């Protein structure tokens, strides 16, 4: 596809359920980021992959959050035992190889997670 694709677009989970959010980055993009955007806030960094290597997971809020990118392309963000405070939009972004800071990050439309 031409852009970053995220699925599902909307997810409703009961508290305590596990959820999995998928991100298909732009083909050939080495870098992949996950951000969490709470209602009325700016996105906050969760984790970063360079190819299949997870190089930074400093933003993951708890050990209930887990991300993977096993083949260096599609990534999955998994949240175990969801809590109400996990309700947010989860954004995925990818960027091309090169000097990381200067590269444009292309964002998907996000997955809106609502935990009841």
Partner 1 sequence: AQSVTQLGSHVSVSEGALVLLRCNYSSSVPPYLFWYVQYPNQGLQLLLKYTSAATLVKGINGFEAEFKKSETSFHLTKPSAHMSDAAEYFCAVTSELGWGKLQFGAGTQVVVTP
The Cα 21–Cα 6 span in angstroms is 8
Residue 35 pairs with which residues in a beta bridge?
45, 91
CB of 14 to partner 1, least distance (A): 23
Q: Residue from 35, 69, 82, 113 that binds partner 1 (CB under 8 A)?
A: 35
Choices 11-19, 40-48, 67-75, 79-87 (CB under 8 A): range interacting with partner 1: 40-48
User: Is 94 an interacting residue with respect to partner 1 (CB under 8 A)?
Assistant: no
| Residue ranges binding partner 1 (CB under 8 A) | 4, 31, 33, 35, 40-45, 48, 50, 55-56, 59, 91, 93, 95, 99-110
């Amino acid at each position: 596809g031409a852009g970053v694709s995220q699925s599902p677009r909307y997810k409703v989970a009961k508290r305590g359920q596990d959820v999995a959010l998928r991100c298909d980055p732009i083909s050939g993009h080495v870098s992949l980021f996950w951000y969490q955007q709470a209602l009325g806030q700016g996105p906050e960094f969760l984790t970063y992959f360079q190819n299949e290597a997870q190089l930074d997971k400093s933003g993951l809020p708890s050990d209930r959050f887990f991300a993977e990118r096993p083949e260096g392309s599609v990534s999955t963000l998994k949240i175990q035992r969801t809590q109400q405070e996990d309700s947010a939009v989860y954004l995925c972004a990818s960027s091309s190889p090169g000097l990381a800071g200067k590269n444009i990050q292309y964002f998907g439309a996000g997955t809106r997670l609502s935990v009841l």
